[in-house]
Chains A and B, each alone.
Chain A
Protein backbone atom coordinates (compact mmCIF):
# COMPACT_ATOMS: atom_id res chain seq x y z
CA UNK A 1 0.00 0.00 0.00
CA UNK A 2 1.23 3.46 -0.84
CA UNK A 3 1.79 5.58 2.24
CA UNK A 4 1.04 9.27 1.74
CA UNK A 5 2.36 11.92 4.10
CA UNK A 6 1.38 15.55 3.98
CA UNK A 7 3.00 18.44 5.76
CA UNK A 8 2.21 20.57 7.53
CA UNK A 9 -1.01 19.26 9.05
CA UNK A 10 -2.12 22.77 9.95
CA UNK A 11 -1.06 26.02 8.35
CA UNK A 12 -2.01 29.57 9.29
CA UNK A 13 -1.11 32.49 7.06
CA UNK A 14 -1.79 36.17 6.60
CA UNK A 15 -3.47 37.36 3.46
CA UNK A 16 -0.96 37.83 0.66
CA UNK A 17 1.57 35.28 1.90
CA UNK A 18 3.07 32.58 -0.31
CA UNK A 19 2.02 29.12 0.87
CA UNK A 20 3.54 25.69 0.30
CA UNK A 21 2.00 22.32 1.15
CA UNK A 22 4.06 19.18 0.71
CA UNK A 23 3.14 15.60 -0.13
CA UNK A 24 5.42 12.56 -0.07
CA UNK A 25 4.54 9.01 -0.99
CA UNK A 26 6.30 5.68 -0.58
CA UNK A 27 5.68 3.82 -3.84
CA UNK A 28 6.39 5.09 -7.34
CA UNK A 29 3.33 6.34 -9.20
CA UNK A 30 2.38 7.72 -12.57
CA UNK A 31 0.10 10.52 -11.39
CA UNK A 32 -0.91 12.44 -8.30
CA UNK A 33 -4.07 14.37 -7.43
CA UNK A 34 -4.47 17.55 -5.42
CA UNK A 35 -7.95 18.14 -3.99
CA UNK A 36 -9.59 20.99 -2.08
CA UNK A 37 -12.34 20.73 0.52
CA UNK A 38 -13.97 23.81 2.04
CA UNK A 39 -15.40 23.53 5.58
CA UNK A 40 -18.63 21.55 5.46
CA UNK A 41 -18.33 21.38 1.72
CA UNK A 42 -17.66 19.00 -1.07
CA UNK A 43 -14.36 17.95 -2.59
CA UNK A 44 -13.03 19.56 -5.73
CA UNK A 45 -10.17 18.34 -7.89
CA UNK A 46 -7.50 21.02 -8.32
CA UNK A 47 -4.84 19.19 -10.28
CA UNK A 48 -3.86 15.82 -11.61
CA UNK A 49 -0.23 15.74 -12.65
CA UNK A 50 2.27 13.15 -13.70
CA UNK A 51 5.38 15.26 -14.24
CA UNK A 52 6.75 18.77 -13.98
CA UNK A 53 4.45 21.61 -13.06
CA UNK A 54 0.88 22.77 -13.58
CA UNK A 55 -0.56 26.22 -12.92
CA UNK A 56 -4.13 27.35 -12.49
CA UNK A 57 -4.60 30.95 -11.44
CA UNK A 58 -2.74 31.46 -8.17
CA UNK A 59 -2.25 27.73 -7.63
CA UNK A 60 0.85 25.89 -8.77
CA UNK A 61 1.49 22.17 -8.36
CA UNK A 62 4.82 20.48 -8.92
CA UNK A 63 5.87 16.86 -8.81
CA UNK A 64 9.21 15.07 -8.70
CA UNK A 65 8.58 11.45 -9.61
CA UNK A 66 12.13 10.34 -8.75
CA UNK A 67 11.99 11.85 -5.28
CA UNK A 68 8.33 10.77 -4.75
CA UNK A 69 7.35 14.28 -3.73
CA UNK A 70 4.84 16.89 -4.77
CA UNK A 71 4.16 20.44 -3.64
CA UNK A 72 1.14 22.70 -3.89
CA UNK A 73 1.88 26.42 -3.84
CA UNK A 74 -0.58 29.28 -3.42
CA UNK A 75 0.64 32.72 -4.39
CA UNK A 76 -0.89 35.88 -2.87
CA UNK A 77 -3.08 33.86 -0.51
CA UNK A 78 -6.60 35.05 0.24
CA UNK A 79 -9.08 34.17 3.03
CA UNK A 80 -11.20 32.31 0.46
CA UNK A 81 -8.27 29.88 0.06
CA UNK A 82 -8.99 28.65 3.59
CA UNK A 83 -9.77 24.95 3.15
CA UNK A 84 -8.38 21.46 3.56
CA UNK A 85 -5.93 20.46 0.83
CA UNK A 86 -5.54 16.75 0.16
CA UNK A 87 -3.12 14.86 -2.02
CA UNK A 88 -3.96 11.42 -3.34
CA UNK A 89 -2.09 8.75 -5.29
CA UNK A 90 -3.06 5.48 -6.94
CA UNK A 91 -2.32 2.70 -4.48
CA UNK A 92 -1.76 0.14 -7.19
CA UNK A 93 -2.00 -0.51 -10.88
CA UNK A 94 -5.79 -0.58 -10.97
CA UNK A 95 -8.02 2.38 -10.51
CA UNK A 96 -9.88 2.57 -7.25
CA UNK A 97 -6.94 1.92 -5.04
CA UNK A 98 -6.59 5.62 -4.43
CA UNK A 99 -4.78 6.46 -1.22
CA UNK A 100 -5.21 9.86 0.37
CA UNK A 101 -3.03 11.97 2.61
CA UNK A 102 -4.48 13.19 5.90
CA UNK A 103 -4.98 16.66 4.52
CA UNK A 104 -3.55 20.07 5.37
CA UNK A 105 -5.88 22.53 7.08
CA UNK A 106 -5.11 26.00 5.73
CA UNK A 107 -6.43 29.14 7.39
CA UNK A 108 -5.73 32.51 5.79
CA UNK A 109 -6.44 35.56 7.93
CA UNK A 110 -7.28 38.96 6.41
Chain B
Protein backbone atom coordinates (compact mmCIF):
# COMPACT_ATOMS: atom_id res chain seq x y z
CA UNK B 1 0.00 0.00 0.00
CA UNK B 2 1.21 3.50 -0.80
CA UNK B 3 -0.78 4.90 2.14
CA UNK B 4 -1.58 8.60 1.78
CA UNK B 5 0.09 10.38 -1.13
CA UNK B 6 0.25 14.10 -1.82
CA UNK B 7 1.37 16.06 -4.85
CA UNK B 8 3.17 18.29 -5.40
CA UNK B 9 5.81 18.26 -2.63
CA UNK B 10 6.72 21.91 -3.22
CA UNK B 11 4.92 24.73 -5.00
CA UNK B 12 5.49 28.44 -5.49
CA UNK B 13 2.55 30.59 -6.58
CA UNK B 14 2.01 34.24 -7.28
CA UNK B 15 -0.77 36.10 -5.51
CA UNK B 16 -4.05 35.52 -7.30
CA UNK B 17 -3.10 32.26 -8.97
CA UNK B 18 -5.18 29.14 -8.38
CA UNK B 19 -4.05 25.60 -7.94
CA UNK B 20 -5.11 22.19 -6.66
CA UNK B 21 -3.25 20.14 -4.07
CA UNK B 22 -3.81 16.47 -4.69
CA UNK B 23 -4.37 13.83 -1.99
CA UNK B 24 -5.06 10.15 -2.48
CA UNK B 25 -5.24 7.11 -0.21
CA UNK B 26 -5.42 3.43 -1.06
CA UNK B 27 -6.61 2.11 2.32
CA UNK B 28 -10.34 2.49 1.61
CA UNK B 29 -10.67 5.00 4.46
CA UNK B 30 -13.93 6.90 4.76
CA UNK B 31 -12.52 9.87 6.65
CA UNK B 32 -10.12 12.32 5.01
CA UNK B 33 -8.91 15.74 6.14
CA UNK B 34 -6.78 18.66 5.11
CA UNK B 35 -4.64 20.52 7.67
CA UNK B 36 -2.26 23.40 7.46
CA UNK B 37 0.76 23.76 9.71
CA UNK B 38 2.19 27.16 10.51
CA UNK B 39 5.02 28.08 12.93
CA UNK B 40 3.63 28.82 16.37
CA UNK B 41 0.09 27.84 15.33
CA UNK B 42 0.24 24.09 15.29
CA UNK B 43 -1.91 22.06 12.93
CA UNK B 44 -5.30 23.45 12.00
CA UNK B 45 -8.14 21.74 10.19
CA UNK B 46 -9.16 23.27 6.86
CA UNK B 47 -11.80 20.88 5.49
CA UNK B 48 -12.75 17.29 6.08
CA UNK B 49 -14.87 14.54 4.57
CA UNK B 50 -16.65 11.58 6.14
CA UNK B 51 -17.24 9.82 2.81
CA UNK B 52 -17.62 10.29 -0.93
CA UNK B 53 -19.90 13.23 -1.63
CA UNK B 54 -19.78 14.56 1.94
CA UNK B 55 -17.53 17.41 3.01
CA UNK B 56 -17.56 19.99 5.77
CA UNK B 57 -15.58 22.99 6.94
CA UNK B 58 -12.95 22.91 9.61
CA UNK B 59 -11.36 25.69 11.60
CA UNK B 60 -9.80 27.71 8.75
CA UNK B 61 -11.78 27.06 5.53
CA UNK B 62 -11.72 30.51 3.92
CA UNK B 63 -9.97 30.59 0.55
CA UNK B 64 -10.11 26.83 0.07
CA UNK B 65 -12.53 24.46 -1.66
CA UNK B 66 -12.78 20.70 -1.53
CA UNK B 67 -14.79 17.95 -3.15
CA UNK B 68 -14.88 14.20 -2.65
CA UNK B 69 -16.11 12.38 -5.73
CA UNK B 70 -14.40 9.08 -4.85
CA UNK B 71 -13.32 7.37 -1.64
CA UNK B 72 -9.67 7.55 -2.73
CA UNK B 73 -9.23 11.21 -3.67
CA UNK B 74 -9.67 14.45 -1.74
CA UNK B 75 -8.23 17.44 -3.61
CA UNK B 76 -7.84 20.88 -2.02
CA UNK B 77 -8.31 23.88 -4.28
CA UNK B 78 -6.91 27.33 -3.67
CA UNK B 79 -9.17 29.70 -5.57
CA UNK B 80 -7.03 32.86 -5.52
CA UNK B 81 -3.78 32.36 -3.63
CA UNK B 82 -2.76 34.88 -0.99
CA UNK B 83 0.54 35.22 0.94
CA UNK B 84 -1.37 34.22 4.11
CA UNK B 85 -1.81 30.77 2.56
CA UNK B 86 1.94 30.17 2.64
CA UNK B 87 2.14 27.05 4.78
CA UNK B 88 2.76 23.33 4.87
CA UNK B 89 -0.34 21.34 3.98
CA UNK B 90 -1.01 17.83 5.22
CA UNK B 91 -3.69 15.43 4.10
CA UNK B 92 -4.78 12.65 6.44
CA UNK B 93 -7.13 9.71 6.40
CA UNK B 94 -8.51 7.19 8.87
CA UNK B 95 -11.01 4.38 9.08
CA UNK B 96 -13.28 5.94 11.64
CA UNK B 97 -13.71 8.50 14.36
CA UNK B 98 -11.51 6.77 16.90
CA UNK B 99 -8.95 5.10 14.68
CA UNK B 100 -5.31 5.83 13.92
CA UNK B 101 -4.77 8.71 11.51
CA UNK B 102 -2.45 8.33 8.52
CA UNK B 103 -0.78 11.48 7.19
CA UNK B 104 0.60 12.27 3.78
CA UNK B 105 4.17 13.63 3.39
CA UNK B 106 2.98 17.23 3.09
CA UNK B 107 3.06 19.98 0.47
CA UNK B 108 5.14 23.09 1.14
CA UNK B 109 3.40 26.04 -0.51
CA UNK B 110 4.83 29.52 -0.88
CA UNK B 111 2.68 32.37 -2.17
CA UNK B 112 4.61 35.44 -3.31
Contact = CB atoms under 8 A, between A and B. Distances in A.
A102 interface: yes
A95 B103 contact: no
Interface in A22-45: 30-31, 33, 35, 41-45
A42 B106 contact: yes
Interface residues of A, number: 23
A29 to B, nearest CB: 10
B101 A100 contact: no
Contacts, number: 61
B97 A95 contact: yes
Nearest to B6: A42
Given A100-B42, A103-B42, A48 B98 contact: yes
Interface string B41-70: 011110011100000101000000000000
19 contacts: A33-B100, A35-B101, A35-B103, A42-B103, A42-B104, A42-B105, A42-B106, A48-B99, A48-B100, A48-B101, A88-B43, A94-B50, A95-B48, A96-B31, A96-B48, A96-B58, A97-B58, A98-B33, A100-B42
Nearest to B104: A42
A24 B43 CA distance: 17
A86 interface: yes
Chain B interface size range: 20 to 34
A41 B105 CA distance: 7
B83 interface: no
A79 to B, nearest CB: 23
Given A45-B100, A88-B43, A95-B96, 11 more contacts: A41-B105, A42-B103, A43-B43, A45-B101, A48-B98, A48-B100, A48-B101, A86-B43, A95-B94, A95-B97, A103-B42
Contacts of A96: 31, 33, 45, 48-50, 56, 58
Given A96-B33, A100-B42, A33 B56 contact: no
B102 A45 contact: yes
A100 B43 contact: yes
B45 A97 contact: yes
